Each structure stands twice: as C-alpha cells, then as structure tokens.
C-alpha cells in the first residue's frame, strides 16, 4: 500500500495531464505491453561484451518484463534459434549501441534491421530442433542462471556444442560456408540488407 500511495503522489504531481489522470489508478501500469498468454522471448537490453552469445530465453506471460529487456511475444523455436545464432550475434556486435563497452540491444537498430533468410521447411525444422537442444541442455543446469551459463570462462561444454550445432543449422539456411569468419558473415548480411532495402523502396 505504501508503494501504491507513492505512485499516486508521483502521478498527481506530474506536469503531464495524461499522467495525472492515471493517479486515480495507482495500482495499474500506464502502459501494458505484457503478452496475455503463452511464453515470450526475453532479450536483455545490455549484455557483457565478453559473451559470444547474448543470453536469450523464454518466460511465461505471468512474469512481468521490466524495461531492462526487449521481448518477442509468441516466438517459435525457429525464431529463437535464429536469434541465439552466431549469425544474429555477429550482426548485433556490429550494429548495436554500447553502454560503456557492453552491447546495448535495440529493437529498432538490431532486431528490425536484421536480414532474415528464407529457409526451406526442412531447414526451418532443423533450426527449431537445434534450438530445442539448447534449451534442453540449459535445463540440465537448474541451479545456474543464464548469466552463469553464458560466462565465457564458465560456459558448459555441452551448451557450447549445442550452440555450435545451432550455428551450423542457421549458417546452412543462409547458404553460408561453415568456415566463414564473423566479419565475412556480417559482410554477407549487409549485402542481404541492401537487397531488402532496394526491394522495399522500389
């Protein structure tokens, strides 16, 4: 009740009329973007530069997402597999903002501009399968947080191997050579991005 009363006072003192109007409902969020059902993907806005993979995971809809994360409602295993791949992480490392030296993930810059491939049904199913394996391996470490699991010094061997299998599935869906460096991956992604923007403007 003390927290609710503090919210009411803060809203009542606001210079914005819309915020003052919400003072009558201090127990409600002024903006509710929470998914109503199912699971959603959580992407941290800020992640350590030491990580190869941003620790992305599913959360149930009854867990409220804070402003420290981006969310993707109703994401499939295929979409999860794409976002945890080295392809997406390589793109993120080049185009994202920074907080000091850490990665700052943005839906506008990183996610919305990411050039997705056009996989076959078989390739899509393979990515979904390798993505599920990543989740299965994570579940073998119930006492570890995602921060623990994705620490480059502590990442379990089984989890790294599961990610590498997922990386291979995504690379193959793009038609990329498995020997490509991150720089070469990003160069190809920018070619795809350029083609998509040209098509979009024509």
- The secondary structure element, H or E, covering residue 9 is helix 2-12
Cα(110)–Cα(88) distance, integer angstroms: 9
Integer angstrom CA distances of residue 144 from 50, 137, 139, 147: 18, 12, 9, 8
Per-position pLDDT tens, the chain of length 202: 999 999 999 999 999 999 999 999 999 888 777 787 789 999 999 999 999 999 999 999 888 888 899 999 999 999 999 999 999 999 999 999 999 999 999 999 999 999 999 999 999 999 999 999 999 999 999 999 999 999 999 999 999 999 999 999 999 999 999 999 999 999 999 999 999 888 766 5
Cα(199)–Cα(196) distance, integer angstroms: 5
pTM, full prediction: 0.85
CB 92 within 8 A of CB 103: yes
Half-sphere exposure of 56 (CA within 13 A, CB side): 28
Q: Which pLDDT does position 76 carry in this prediction?
A: 96
Q: Which pLDDT does position 65 carry in this prediction?
A: 85
Cα(83)–Cα(77) distance, integer angstroms: 10
Task: Please list, in sequence order, all residues whose beta carbon lies within 8 angstroms of the beta carbon of residue 67, skipping any fewer than 6 positions away.
Answer: 45
């Amino acid at each position: 009740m003390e927290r609710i009363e503090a919210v009411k006072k803060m809203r009542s003192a606001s210079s914005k009329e819309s915020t003052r109007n919400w003072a009558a409902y201090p127990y409600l969020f002024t903006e509710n973007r929470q998914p109503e059902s199912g699971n959603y993907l959580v992407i941290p806005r800020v992640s350590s530069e030491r990580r190869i993979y941003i620790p992305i995971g599913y959360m149930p809809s009854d867990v409220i997402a804070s402003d420290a994360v981006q969310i993707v409602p109703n994401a499939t295993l295929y979409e999860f597999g794409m976002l945890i791949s080295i392809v997406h992480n390589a793109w993120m490392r080049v185009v994202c903002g920074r907080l000091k030296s850490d990665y700052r993930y943005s839906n506008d810059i990183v996610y919305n501009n990411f050039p997705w491939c056009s996989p076959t049904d078989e390739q899509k199913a393979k990515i979904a399968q390798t993505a599920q394996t990543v989740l299965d391996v994570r579940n073998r470490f119930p006492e570890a947080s995602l921060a623990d699991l994705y620490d480059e010094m502590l990442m379990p061997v089984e989890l790294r191997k599961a990610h590498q299998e997922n990386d291979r599935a995504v690379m193959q869906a793009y038609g990329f050579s498995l020997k490509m460096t991150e720089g070469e991956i990003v160069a190809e992604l920018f070619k795809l991005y350029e083609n998509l923007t040209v098509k979009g403007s024509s």
